[in-house]
């Protein structure tokens, strides 16, 4: 689970960087990268929830 949390943190940093570039500079490519990161984060969060619920049952 620690690896997953680290991956989530890294992906969020990438999302934040790209989202800021899109907002501040109007960089369309950064917007595409931010959306890709958002999708990856969504998948990772679902995996985190699954692991977390299993750990709570033990």
pTM comes to 0.87
* pLDDT given at position 58: 85
Summarize pLDDT for 8-58 with one digit per residue, the tens.
999 999 999 999 999 999 999 999 999 999 999 999 999 999 999 999 998
How many Å separate Cα 55 from the centre of its chain?
Answer: 22
* pLDDT given at position 7: 97
Q: Dihedral, CA atoms, 29, 30, 32, 34, nearest 10 degrees?
A: 170
Residue 5 has pLDDT above 90, yes or no: yes
Contact by Cβ (8 Å): 56, 9: no
């Amino acid at each position: 689970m620690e690896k997953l949390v680290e991956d989530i943190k890294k992906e969020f940093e990438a999302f934040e960087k790209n989202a800021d570039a899109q907002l501040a500079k109007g960089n369309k490519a950064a917007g595409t990268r931010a959306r890709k990161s958002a999708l990856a984060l969504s998948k990772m969060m679902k995996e985190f929830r699954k692991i977390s619920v299993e750990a709570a049952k033990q």
